[in-house]
Structure formats: C-alpha cells, structure tokens
Structure 1
C-alpha cells in the first residue's frame, strides 16, 4: 500500500498484524529475546542519529540528556526484559483448595495480540521504544504512532524499525491529529498512550467504543515538598536539576515546590543559583534544551506574565535573548507565591518554570496536595525516613521519591504509572510485560473429579461439601 494513502495504509497494516498474530499466537521466547536484542543493537548503533534527529526537532536538545534519558534508558529496558523474560513468561502455579482437589491450577501468561502505542514528543525515542520493548517481550505485534511535533524522530523511528522487523510485526504510523484519532479508534488488543490528561480522556473514549484495554501515562502537577528539617540549599540542588532537565518538559518533573513558610524567597534564590551552576549562559548553552515549539513557548510566557500581573514575584536566570536567537530557549524561572487560581497553579506547566509556595508543616502540605488532582509523582525532602514515610502515607500519587526527584522511574522493577487524573495502568520491568499480557486462569481436573458428587439432585454429599466450603 502506497504511503500516498496513509489512512488506507493504517487499516492495511492493522489487518496484516491481526492476521500475523493469529498465525503465530505464541511467539517463542527465543524469538522474543532476539527481537529485544535487535532493538538494543539498533539503539546503540544509531544513538548519534537519534540525537541529531531529536536536536533538530527541538531546535536544541542537550546531547547528554538524550544519551541518558533516551538511548541509554531504552537499552537498559530491553536488556532487563531479555534477562528476566524466562521467569516473567513462565506459567505460575496456584494452590488448589481442598474442596477442589485433586487438580492443578495455574496462570498462563499469553500475549494480548496487536498493541497500539501513541508516543509523545518530549522523549520521542524513549517513550516509543520502552513500551515497544515491553510489548515485544510479551510476544505482541505493535503499531506505533509518534507525535507530529517531532517529525525527524518519527521518520527515523519508521526507517530504523522497518529494517529490524517486518511490517506485520512492528510498524510506525506517521501523521497528525486526524491520524492519531483514527489510530486510537482501531480495535487494538491493548492501547498504550503517553501524553496530556485532556488528550488522554479522548483516547480513553475512543478505546471504550471497542472495549479496548488502555494504559494512560499522563501527567499532572507533581509537588516537591521540603520538610523543616531539610536544608533549603540542599533541596535546591536536586529540585533544580529535576525541574530544568530537558527544560522542564518531563512528565515527572517537579511542577511546584512547597517550602516551609517564610523560606520561599531563600529557596527560590537557591534554585536559581543551582540552575546557573548547572547551565551557565543558558542562552548559548548547548546542554540546556529548547522548548519544542513556538506555541509551547508562547504558552509558558503567558503563564509567567499572568502570575506577574497578579502580584507574584518572578525570578529568572540571566538570559541574553539575542544570543539565543531563534532556538526557543526559555530561561530557568521561579515564581514565588503565585495566586492559587492562576493558570500556573491549575495547569501542568511542562516547562522550566517553578512556582514556590509556603507551608505550615507537613500536615498542611499534605492537605494542599490532597485537595488537588492525584499527581503522577511526589517528592518529599526530610532527614528523617520516618517523617518522609509518614508524609507518603498521608498522600497519594502515581509514584514517589524521597530526597531526589525523578529517579524512581529508572528503577526497572518499580511500576511506573499514574493514579486518578495522572493516569491508569503502569509499565516498566515485569509490570510492563504484564501490561501487554493476558493472564489466563486454568484449572486442570483429572478424568474423574469428585465435583460430580455434588451434582443435582442435591443430597448428603452436597450438604457435606457446603459445610466444608464454609468452614
């Protein structure tokens, strides 16, 4: 099918993958390991090509950030899956109650079928290929719809993956919003979406029409909460890194910070000092990433301007706009005490802007967090593990970390996902394998099973069984 008719190709590829799955419902484990090994090798061989493509899409993307958060992450993910696949895929024995004996109970872990992956622009390589690795480990066929905001990366994904896998195994579908809508309307056996909460709601509605199970990796306003026993200067070191890495275009970046009341100004100044130490001369610093588009840059500008007009104090790193040229650089920015009804405090920021507010103790901070949508991540800073764990127990988020942001998502065996408005479902490690796996319950009985003794007409054996069952 010619690429000149992309909608027709979409349906043709889907039909081809459905047919291929029916022809090979249980891809051998050895083949799945080979699929993962090929993915690892491709990413290693073409890491520089991906870095250039991503840099072109952003206008400027830190090569170091791409190396660790894109290529390195995918390689580690695929390698981990390959190492543990035998254990993950093995049938799991389950105990049989006395009332059901004799017999054997177990769970078969079987591939769901054809999976759809809708990946975003902020980590265009990682968030396409890490779910792909999980789906390949599970034995699925996969179609990927990359973001239209990263066309160079999308094209490289299509070109590189087409050399590794047949189109009826893995296929990349390029296109804009109309294509994304059509993609999500296909009757996939599982649909995996990463992106914003508003679009996630539309994806869920499209999937619901086909009763397609869906994983939604969304976002939200992830707080960083600093206890009174923790140094503001020390907290600023890692919060600045987490916030301004990839210029804040990270779903688990600290969205806002809650510092002990009276310390907002000192903390804001400390954050900017750390940002300046990590990314001096942000206008011309190639390790400081640009904003993905003019539209996104204009939105960030409007958020800050609105907060400033409402009386909030806006602090920014030194920035030479002339040196930045047309690279859409937005300098590290801290906004002290923005109004709670401002867009800055209502919307996920997704950029290098950190609101800082005060709290009257961790109980007050927990109340503040709990009054809002469940965040994708939560970070608490305390010298006391007991204090940190007590705070975690009083809140709810998709994931969490103590005394550092973001690193929980790099622990392969920790499930990564949201809760409530920040998402549903999870992946990474075995959890990712299970996302694309159907756990099929099986009970095997012998040719003659005692259950026949309680068939109608009901008599003494039935009464005996009833008492035995109820204990």
Structure 2
C-alpha cells in the first residue's frame, strides 16, 4: 500500500500495522529473510527495462548506462552478497568470559530492532531506496520506505517491486516535505536518511524526540588531490568519469580539485580533450544525463554567474552545446581562479561544475581540506605511494579512493558512511546488518555455578580471589 498526502490511511496507522506484525514475529527465521531477498532480486531483474525508462522520465533524460551502472547493478550485487553472507552474519558471536565469570559463557546475539524508517533521495532512486531496505529486512526488521517526490515515475515501478508478500515487511510511502516531516517523527527503532546535510539536521532533530537512533548519509564537498607523481592523462580520465556520471549528481562525486601548480594547465587541457572525445555532442548527446529539475539547473547556472562576477575563469571544453535551459541539460564547466567567498566553493555542487585550485606544497592542499568539514569521499590521483599514505593519515573522510572515483561505494564487504557534516553511522556489508540489529549481551550459566553462592555470602575468599585476578 502506498501513502501520500491525499490518502485517508495515516502514517501512524501504517506504522502501527508494521509494529504489530513485528511484535507477533519478533525474530523472522533466516531462511524466510533469504527467501524474501531472493524474490526481490528476481523482481528487480524482471523490471529492469521499466526502471530504466521510469528514471529517465523523472530526470528529463537519464542515460541507461547511468541507471544500470549506478542503480540496478549495485542493488542486485548487494542483494547477492547479503543472501550469501547473512547466515554467517546472524550467528551469535562468542566472546571471552574471563575467569571472574567462569564457568558461564558469554556471547553477542543479534536481534532485530523493530520497525525501521528509510528516507530515500532522488539522485539514485533505486539503489538508495532498496539497499537500506533489504539490509534492514536481512536483519529481521519491518520497514517503512519514504520515496522522493521528485521521482514519481520511478516510484510507480518501485511500488510494483514492493507488492505482494514483500509489503508485509515493507510499506512504501510517498509525499512531499510535510509527509517527510511527519515520517521522521514516527517512533522508529532506527531511521536512515540519505540527502543533504541541512535536511539531515532536521531529520535528526525530529528523531531525537523519540530517542530514535539515526544513520545519516549526507554529502558535502569531496576533494580530489592530484600529486606531483600523477600521470595527468590518467588522472583526467578518472576525474572526468567521476564528475560526469549522472551529470555529477552523486553524493560522492568529485567536488573540487587540488593540483600542483606546475600541472594545472596540463590537467585542464587533458580534461577538455577527453571531454571533446567522449561528449563531443555536448548537451545534444545521448550519453549525457540531464539535471533533475529546472530549479537545480538554475542553481548551477547561478553558481557560475556569481563566480564569474567575483573573478573566476570558466573554461568550456566545447564552444557550443554546453547548456540547454529548456531541457535543463549542462555539459562540463571547469572553473579556475576560485575563492572561498564564491558560493560554488561553499555548497555541495551536485552537477557538472569542476572548480580547480593549484597548490605549491602538498601540505597546503591537505591544510585546505582540514580547514573545512570532513568530506564523504576523498580522492587521491597519483602513483606516489608515500604521498598517498601521508594524505590518508593526515585527513579524515568517510571514504577514500586512490586512482579511482565513485566505485569505492560499490564495494560490498566494507561499510559506507560519512563523518561529521558528511554523515553519521554506516551501512553496506556486515556493518549494515549490525546497524539495523541490536547486539545483545547474552550470558548463559549452567547448573554448576559456585560463583552465585559466594556472591550471596559476600565471601572474603571471593574478594581475595578477584583482587588477585585484577590487582597484580
């Protein structure tokens, strides 16, 4: 069932129904969870073409490549990984009990939390909706999924995906900001939000009234450091892919570049040549995804206009076909001579604009990153291993990729999450299972347990024994 602002069925009623279902079956057997996930995986494959078409309609135009590579394939891959690993993840973890609690045994058992809320964004409306949902279901929870109001066509297909038996475990909710506000105030056992830092703060504040733990997948300005040892052509290729995939509308997209001063001109030249080669038709090409809406398009053109007024230089690889206001399409815009007073150096860009800053010493680049909020991703392009290690140790970021961009997010067996203003908590892999599970300290004592009698008598012998164990 789908809820929107016009529905007579309230969010509270939806939540209460899932809560009752969870309380009636507080521990869904692992084999049943796996069956649900397998069926969902099959349905995604069956609905592939519908999903590709629907997302393209929502964007105005989105390449099938962007939807397959960034949405469908990572989701199917994640499901396969969870299905394979879940039996092992869910096993109790035996821990050392210590001599003071002998002969008892202690372990950690992983228990579903209850009803989990997921608020999905528009930029990857399939992956960023389904992956947290299936991770929560894998942990044994029921889920309420709030879809983005900016992707109505995709939402229709996702409703089909979550129909039949799966809707007993996941309810799909639609609606605008008012619905989202009410949604985040529900007494979830856990709430995951993916979106902007500003909205993330509001979600966290709303969840705090119920002491609901939150996982916030936010964003920010993810920097790229190009080192002196870099192969500039390879660096430009990697950078161009990271910036142009989904037209830069990715939370881990390279946001700005720090390059040695001696290599700046060469980098710009390589970027322009590669762009002309791969996007030679510009906004007329079928390999360029549109900006999601007219409002976001105007936001991006506003950044460029303001930066130019404040002294920035804008480099356009093509003389024409760089912008299409009617279809809100935009090609690559390289911006140099930037400063922090410019809005494009303050906000997360979320578009095909690439500011480039030069540096003289590597420490200058590192200091600049450290003076700003911790990014969700940090990219290092260059073959100098000592420089790579130095940058990684000197900076704090949610993720790091060396000589690559974006794809670190698709690694199945590692956690994904930000730090500080770029996010809070993790999901993906085993860490995702743990996020949506309650790790319960479980102590088991048998019939032979002399410790209890000694504790009850407040035995001096026991105190002496414990002092001998602990105070040496």
Does structure 2 conserve the Cα–Cα contact (< 8 Å) formed by 1:197 and 1:421? yes
CA distance, structure 1, for counterparts of residue 406 and residue 322 of structure 2: 33
Q: Work out whether 1:381 is the aligned partner of 2:375.
A: no
Q: Which residue is 1:470 aligned to?
A: 471
Q: Which residue is 1:176 aligned to?
A: 176
Q: Work out whether 1:359 is the aligned partner of 2:359.
A: yes
1:216-260 residue CA offsets vs partner (Å, 9 max, x unmatched): 000010001001111222211100110111000000010000000
Q: Which residue is 2:87 aligned to?
A: 86
Q: CA deviation at 1:434?
A: 1.2
Q: Which residue is 1:55 aligned to?
A: 56
Q: CA deviation at 1:164?
A: 4.7
Q: CA deviation at 1:266?
A: 2.6
Q: Which residue is 2:207 aligned to?
A: 207
- Which is further off, 358-367 or 345-354? 358-367
- Which is further off, 69-78 or 277-286? 277-286
Q: TM-score, normalised by structure 2?
A: 0.96
Q: Specify the SS of the correspondent of 1:255.
A: strand
Map 1:39-438 to 2 at 5 A: 39-166=40-167, 168-318=168-318, 320=320, 324=324, 326-438=326-438
Does structure 1 conserve the Cα–Cα contact (< 8 Å) formed by 2:240 and 2:275? yes
CA distance, structure 1, for counterparts of residue 319 and residue 457 of structure 2: 84
Q: CA deviation at 1:9?
A: 3.0
CA distance, structure 1, for counterparts of residue 125 and residue 319 of structure 2: 27
1:326-370 residue CA offsets vs partner (Å, 9 max, x unmatched): 321011111012112211111111100000001122211111110
- Which is further off, 459-468 or 15-24? 459-468
Q: CA deviation at 1:313?
A: 0.8
Q: Which residue is 1:20 aligned to?
A: 21
Question: Alpha carbon RMSD of aligned pairs, Å?
Answer: 1.7
- May I ask how many residue pairs the two structures share in their alignment? 470
CA distance, structure 2, for counterparts of residue 329 and residue 7 of structure 1: 39
Q: CA deviation at 1:272?
A: 2.4
Q: Specify the SS of the correspondent of 2:282.
A: coil
Structure 2: runs of 5+ lacking an equivalent: none
- Which is further off, 8-17 or 78-87? 8-17
Does structure 1 conserve the Cα–Cα contact (< 8 Å) formed by 2:259 and 2:358? yes
CA distance, structure 1, for counterparts of residue 304 and residue 255 of structure 2: 14
CA distance, structure 1, for counterparts of residue 198 and residue 456 of structure 2: 53
Q: Specify the SS of the correspondent of 1:117.
A: strand
Identify if the C-alpha distance between structure 1 residues 7 and 368 changes in structure 2 by more than 3 Å, giving closer, same or farther. farther
Does structure 1 conserve the Cα–Cα contact (< 8 Å) formed by 2:244 and 2:352? yes
1:425-460 residue CA offsets vs partner (Å, 9 max, x unmatched): 111111111111111110111234233314454524
Structure 1: runs of 5+ lacking an equivalent: none
Q: TM-score, normalised by structure 1?
A: 0.96
CA distance, structure 2, for counterparts of residue 336 and residue 320 of structure 1: 20
Q: Specify the SS of the correspondent of 2:267.
A: helix
